[in-house]
Structure 1
Amino acid sequence: METKVKIIERVEQGEKMVDIARSYNMNHSTNGMILKNKDKIMEHVKSVVPMMSTIISKKHGKVMEEMEKLLSVWMQDQQQHQVPLSLMLIQEKAKSLYEDLKKKHREESEGSPFNASHGWFHRFKTRADLHNVKVSGEAASADTVAARQFPEML
């Protein structure tokens, strides 16, 4: 559709149909059909919501980007040393790195707090291309007393 609109615009600007057809490597009769249906094409384009308006994205700050890079390196190192990774361990490491980097980059210390949610972790795995990372489950076997004492020991 985008190509058809560009062809229509180029014809309206006075460019020859033969030259336009060559630039798109298509037959000039195809351009003729596009021009014949110009009104329908333009009506359709105006009625359709642009694709870019349906994409929701959030730009990560400098601290978040650096934290995710460091976390990715740490996770790969842990895997090479065959250390089992749990979601809870990864989340704690992410929070720790984030807080350290936030102190380092004072200008970005404002904003919503980072809580390393399950959703963040799954999106992080996709962004960092860590599809082969195995995370062991701990929900049933978690030692909550040891987990509370661990940050103090660390």
Structure 2
Amino acid sequence: MDSKKRKASDASGNAKKRHAISMETKVAIIIKLDSGEKMVNVARAYNMDRSTISTIYKCKDRVMEHVKSTVPMLSTIISKKRGKLLEEMEKLLGLWMEHQWQRHVGLSLMLIH
């Protein structure tokens, strides 16, 4: 095995924990990259992997769209609200499926669709 390859771990050998990156930090990263700063330099400045910076930059449209809304800049996750109609339909579908199982009726994907 190549000695240069290593697992993502800290000095004690434990796996690294994931941490959330605030929208404020993501916007700052995007602005730096848009201004022409190299990805490697931005990664070093924020003490992050280059792949993390790259992923943030690839999703810059979603991040900037999210920031334009009235959501606070300290949020970390972009999420979409599901409609009440969809939630109600899934609840009723679950009840129907449970009822079918109790009656020992076979279910298929086509029947559920």
TM-score by length of structure 2 reads 0.43
TM-score by length of structure 1 reads 0.32
The higher-RCO structure (CA 8 Å, 6+ apart) is 2
Structure richer in helix, relative to its length: 1
